[in-house]
């Protein structure tokens, strides 16, 4: 039986509230879990102490038993200083597409030509 430490959603529509739980990986997200380890309320401000509450000792116990954490829970644990910060995959989403790069290159070329043209006019005027 493999265990994951993950979030189970509760709350009403458009008012999310999550429990941090240790659950069998085969169980549904909001289904049966082994133990409740904390809560997460995303509606509270980020600096609020009530936003994330965790039983750190029990989380350490489950991790020692081989439980894996999900990405969101591992971020909570990193913020609490329980686990070391790990390097994550950061795809290059900010890089413009091929057409945008071509437009930028042509714009730069036109600007270079415009800068070179007045210099040539000044040289011929002398």
Banded model confidence at residue 113, pLDDT cuts 50, 70, 90: confident
Whether the pLDDT of residue 118 is over 70: the answer is no
Full DSSP string of 23-54: EETTS-TTS--SEEEEEE-TTS-TT-TTSEEE
Tell me which CATH code domain 3-80 carries: 3.30.1320.10
- Mean pLDDT, all residues of the chain: 88
- The answer to whether the CB of 44 falls within 8 A of the CB of 70 is no
Whether the pLDDT of residue 83 is over 80: the answer is yes
pTM of the predicted protein model: 0.68
Banded model confidence at residue 76, pLDDT cuts 50, 70, 90: very high
């Amino acid at each position: 039986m493999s265990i994951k430490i993950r979030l189970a959603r509760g709350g009403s529509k458009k008012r999310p509230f999550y429990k941090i739980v240790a659950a069998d990986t085969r169980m549904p997200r909001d289904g049966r879990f082994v133990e409740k380890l904390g809560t997460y309320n995303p509606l509270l401000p980020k600096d609020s102490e009530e936003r994330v509450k965790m039983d750190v000792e029990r989380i350490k116990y489950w991790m020692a038993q081989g439980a894996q954490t999900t990405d969101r829970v591992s971020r909570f644990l990193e913020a609490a200083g329980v686990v070391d910060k790990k390097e994550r995959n950061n795809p290059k989403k900010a890089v413009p597409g091929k057409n945008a790069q071509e437009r930028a290159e042509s714009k730069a070329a036109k600007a270079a030509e415009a800068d070179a043209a007045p210099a040539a006019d000044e040289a011929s005027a002398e």
